[in-house]
Chain A
Amino acid sequence: MLVLTRKLGESITIGDEIKVTIIEIKGKQVKVGVEAPQDTKVHREEVYQRIQEENRMAALISPIHLKKVGDFWKRIKKP
């Protein structure tokens, strides 16, 4: 991994079209601005990972689980 040290307000560029700027440093948090072409996906890694994990869990559900859920749903709807 390439490690660079930057000061507040300074940037790094990646390729010709991507620019990352340090916008704010507050305690342990760093606010980073990303300028990139419209079709470049920019995500905080943890969001991606959380959704992947959630999908993996969701893929394990069986109709039996869902049947129970369906019953719950009916009970809530028509108490």
Chain B
Amino acid sequence: MIPVRCFTCGKVIADVWEEYKARTEQGEDPKTVLDELGVRRYCCRRMLLTHAELINEIVPYL
């Protein structure tokens, strides 16, 4: 699960994660998507850029 807020500055970033994911999977440049979603600072940008969604991989072992 994407963290609710940016670790560094505390801005809420979880609300844009799904749109970011959908749009980058469509082949859009992450840079333009982040700019359009209003994620300006590099601390918040890395939260989305580097996030790995692992929850589905944990499920078989629950």
Co-assembled chains A and B: no
